[in-house]
Amino acid sequence: MNQLDNQYSGNIAVERPADDVDIVERVRGYIDQGDYGPGDRLPPERQLIGELGLPRGALRRALDALEREGVIWRHVGKGTFVSRDSLADAGDWVADLGRQLTPYRMVRARLTIEPAIAREAAMNASAEAMTRMRIALERASAAANWQDYETQDDKFHRSIAEASDNLLLLALFDQLNKVRRAVAWGVVTRDTVRPPQDHSSFAEHEAIADAIERRDPEAAYAAMRAHLRSVSSRLFEEE
């Protein structure tokens, strides 16, 4: 289950601790006030730690949050890049599109784009990319609560876009993901503290990862499509 499932199965906003919010805003301000345009690479992590006076872990959490928002994107081995300019107003178009887009249309968009990304991942995934994918799967399975699961679930789906080794596809995935969060899905209560062991997305995710690891593009495409259809089925059955 990716965060599309998360919206269906609770739509519960996850609040970061106040300190983390302050750190995210500090890093956002650093980017906004710097001479950075879309596509510009940020300084390396070591330099950011020194300039911002942050511990490594706090900086990484802030960068994770900004990446999920679409402010930045990262490519392993190449660095961290600014996604856009006018950072202060960057959420406006997403919120506006989210208000206009129905859940059904959002699902159709995902069914069009994400299976194709999975197919590309099967042709291009590196050993390092597969490791990130497997780590996210293992941590999702071991998550003690829904919030931890959702974090790892999100990382799994993004790791597939990273595995495509195509920066444009990764950028498209990030923007799609951001719009998805802005769509009003409704509220569904959860009956368990954490995903049950037989949660269907566990097996669906394994099938996707297995196909990518086997270098089977069509199987990866089909597995991702089956997963998104399963998610869609759960959504509309629960409405």
Residue range 147-184, pLDDT digits in tens: 888 888 888 999 999 999 998 999 899 888 888 877 86
- Verify that 55 and 167 share a domain, yes or no: no
26, 54, 88 - which closes a domain: 88
What angle separates helix 18-33 from helix 45-52, to the nearest 10 degrees?
A: 110
Contact in structure between 66 and 147 (CB atoms under 8 Å): no
Domain that holds residue 179: 3-11+97-238
Q: How many helices (H) and strands (E) does the chain have?
A: 11, 2
In one-letter notation, the amino acid at residue 10 is: G
Tokens representing 54? Answer: 């942050």
Q: How many domains does the chain have?
A: 2
- Verify that 105 and 216 share a domain, yes or no: yes
Contact in structure between 156 and 133 (CB atoms under 8 Å): yes
The pLDDT of residue 136 is 94
CB atoms under 10 Å from CB of 236, counted, come to 12
Report, as an integer, the average pLDDT of 186-206.
83
Residue range 181-191, pLDDT digits in tens: 778 665 556 78
- Verify that 107 and 168 share a domain, yes or no: yes
Contact in structure between 237 and 188 (CB atoms under 8 Å): no
What pTM was estimated for this model as a whole? 0.65
36, 59, 88 - which closes a domain: 88
Report, as an integer, the average pLDDT of 42-66.
91
Residue range 83-125, pLDDT digits in tens: 754 444 555 677 778 778 888 899 999 999 999 999 999 999 9
Q: What is the CATH number of the domain that holds 122?
A: 1.20.120.530
pLDDT at 195 over 50: yes
Report, as an integer, the average pLDDT of 120-138.
96
88, 115, 140 - which closes a domain: 88
Rg (CA), the chain: 18
Q: What is the CATH number of the domain that holds 52?
A: 1.10.10.10
